[in-house]
């Protein structure tokens, strides 16, 4: 049995930076060693495999870079969400413009405040969308919980706490 | 990212997992990136052109290929003006523009998506750990395309890639976990995540591959982010050196000069900068 080591490396150079990729494959050749053509074919296969793997690795890097770029800021502002009564529609978030105007009227609630609000809502078995419905009832307008101002968060918190405190006494 | 408040995103989480030091340079120190890879520019410009196309469809209009291609070219030019594009060997501006046009044509040759609800929709939702506790920092996800399906919604994530995806890739995809969690938290309906992969082969092709996540998967995501958050608070940053990570990394020079004791003072900028 013949043992074969196949090694390939590639260096990409750009702007005085070089990026190296290399691969080493070890394989066995089970064919008759007197059959030179079969041996050469097998070696060729290993080279092709190495080449393919190396190329994939380089391309994968490029592809991963593209994936990582996904959350970078878009060049243009996005459109507001579709207005379809029967379809799930999120509250306008900061990406859609409106809440910016709203928050411009006050300092945004902190993450800590919202975390507290969500925890309180959870005790009342309110999910985020249900909490937002409750917020709409309290403030008189549809708003994402993360677009609340500090003042609004305080009002909502007071209202929820009042309701929660009222419950045991409300017999 | 358009969200003004401190938040996590898939790319931030993924960046920390891939190389904590790169995360530190980009999101804590906010070092400038002198160059950008042509793959990123291509992906971004294709996304922008397809967002235009989907928005047209959502409004019931017809978008012709020439207009979509023009949006792509404009998106490329605007990115080109912002940063120097780094091409890999054998690639040129012309060849990459041609690849982009080929990918767009491939996508537009397919039947257009139906029942479009939202295009490029930003969602901001809380993360919950396995103890049922909300994390202080929310998750922001920008979803390329959301359509309604028989029993819920389908989130379409567009990708440009050199290779096709495997089922295992999408079933273990952190991005799918983030997007499924975000959309389920917001809409409270079953969510399917479909990757529409535009494969940059000689003859471009479109691969559609789907995955699902369940309610039980969300706490795992919350635990993961909570641990990363803890690591960031403890200033745990270190390089993960590999050809995959380092070739094309814009922070190779600061990485070479990196010394952990310098991080402490610089880390005070974390709060100021609003990372992650």
Q: How far is CA B258 from the centre of its chain?
A: 27
Number of domains in chain A: 2
Residues A161 and A107 grouped into a single domain: yes
Residues A58 and A107 grouped into a single domain: no
pLDDT of the residue at B48: 96
Between positions 10 and 49 of A, the ones with CB within 8 A of B are 12-15, 17, 19-21
The predicted-structure confidence for A17-40, as pLDDT tens digits, reads as follows 566 778 887 777 777 777 887 788
Residue A166 maps to a domain:
yes
Probe site for chain B from A20, A68, A117 (most B CB atoms < 10 A) = A68
Mean pLDDT score of chain B: 92
Peptide bond into B21 cis (omega under 30): no
3-class SS at A130?
helix
Residue A117 maps to a domain:
yes
pLDDT < 70 regions, chain B: 1-3, 262-276
Residue A36 maps to a domain:
yes
Domain extent for A142: 103-170
CA distance B207 to A85: 32
Structural tokens at position A23 = 């691969």
Probe site for chain B from A74, A96, A97, A116 (most B CB atoms < 10 A) = A74
**Chain B residue with Cα closest to A22:** B243
In the block, residue with structure tokens 């080449």: A51
Choose between A1 and A9: higher pLDDT.
A9
pLDDT of the residue at A81: 41
Mean pLDDT score of chain A: 71
pLDDT of the residue at A83: 37
pLDDT of the residue at B83: 86
pLDDT of the residue at B6: 93
Residue A57 maps to a domain:
yes
Calculate the alpha carbon distances from A107 to A125, A149, B30, B139 in Å.
Answer: 28, 5, 25, 21
pLDDT of the residue at A104: 53
Probe site for chain B from A10, A57, A83, A90 (most B CB atoms < 10 A) = A90
Residues A108 and A161 grouped into a single domain: yes
- pLDDT over threshold 60, residue A118: yes
Residue A151 maps to a domain:
yes
Between positions 64 and 83 of A, the ones with CB within 8 A of B are 64-79, 81-82
pLDDT of the residue at A38: 79
- Domain end: A16, A45, A68, which one? A68
Contact of A63 with chain B, judged by CB distance below 8 Å, is answered with yes
Residue A59 maps to a domain:
yes
Answer yes or no: do A19 and B3 touch at CB < 8 A.
Answer: no
A64 contacts in B (CB within 8 Å)?
18, 244
Residue A34 maps to a domain:
yes
Instruction: Note whether ipTM > 0.90 here.
Output: no
pLDDT of the residue at A27: 78
Residues A20 and A64 grouped into a single domain: yes
B122 Cβ partners below 8 Å, 6+ apart? A78, A93, A94, A95, A96, B2, B3, B140, B141, B142, B143
pLDDT of the residue at A67: 33
- Domain end: A44, A68, A92, which one? A68
Rounded mean pLDDT of A139-160?
Answer: 93
Contact of A54 with chain B, judged by CB distance below 8 Å, is answered with no
pLDDT of the residue at A84: 39
Residue A164 maps to a domain:
yes
CA distance B239 to A163: 51
pLDDT of the residue at A162: 79
The predicted-structure confidence for A38-94, as pLDDT tens digits, reads as follows 788 778 777 877 777 777 676 655 544 333 333 333 332 333 343 334 456 555 443
- Domain end: A23, A41, A68, which one? A68
């Amino acid at each position: 049995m013949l043992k074969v080591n196949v090694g390939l490396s590639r260096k990409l150079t750009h702007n005085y930076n070089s990026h190296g990729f290399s691969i080493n494959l070890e394989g066995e050749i089970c064919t008759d060693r007197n059959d030179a053509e079969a041996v050469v074919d097998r070696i060729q296969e290993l080279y092709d495999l190495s080449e393919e793997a190396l190329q994939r690795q380089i391309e994968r890097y490029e592809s991963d870079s593209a994936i990582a770029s996904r959350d970078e800021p878009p060049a243009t502002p996005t459109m507001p969400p579709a207005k379809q009564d029967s379809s799930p529609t999120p509250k306008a978030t900061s990406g859609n413009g409106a809440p910016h105007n709203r928050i411009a009227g006050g300092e945004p609630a902190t993450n800590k405040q919202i975390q507290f609000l969500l925890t309180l809502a959870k005790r009342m078995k309110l999910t985020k969308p249900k909490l937002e419905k409750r917020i709409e009832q309290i403030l008189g307008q549809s708003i994402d919980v993360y677009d609340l101002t500090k003042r609004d968060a305080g009002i909502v918190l007071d209202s929820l706490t009042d309701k929660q405190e009222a419950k045991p006494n409300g017999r | 990212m358009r969200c003004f408040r401190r938040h996590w995103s898939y790319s931030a989480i993924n960046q920390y997992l891939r190389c904590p030091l790169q995360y530190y340079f980009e999101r804590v120190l906010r070092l400038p990136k002198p160059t950008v890879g042509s793959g990123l520019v291509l992906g971004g410009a294709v996304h922008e052109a397809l967002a235009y196309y989907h928005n047209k469809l959502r409004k019931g209009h017809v978008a012709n290929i020439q207009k979509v291609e023009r949006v792509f070219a404009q998106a490329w030019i605007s990115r080109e003006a912002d940063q120097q594009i780094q091409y890999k060997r054998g690639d040129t501006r012309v060849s990459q523009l041609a690849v982009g046009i080929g990918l767009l044509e491939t996508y537009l040759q397919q039947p257009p998506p139906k029942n479009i609800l939202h295009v490029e929709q930003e969602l901001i939702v809380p993360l919950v750990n396995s103890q049922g506790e909300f994390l202080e920092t929310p998750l922001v996800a920008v979803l390329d395309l959301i359509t309604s399906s028989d029993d819920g919604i389908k989130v379409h994530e567009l990708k440009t890639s050199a290779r096709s995806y495997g089922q295992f890739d999408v079933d273990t995809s952190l991005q799918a976990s983030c997007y499924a969690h975000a959309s389920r938290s917001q809409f409270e309906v079953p969510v399917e995540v479909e990757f529409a992969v535009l494969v940059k082969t000689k003859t471009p092709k479109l691969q559609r591959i789907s995955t699902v996540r369940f309610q039980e998967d969300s706490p795992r995501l919350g635990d993961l982010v909570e641990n990363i958050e803890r690591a960031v608070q403890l200033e745990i940053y270190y390089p993960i050196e590999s050809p995959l990570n380092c070739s094309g990394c814009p922070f190779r020079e600061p990485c070479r000069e990196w010394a952990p004791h310098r991080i402490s003072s610089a880390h005070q900028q974390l709060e100021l900068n609003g990372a992650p």
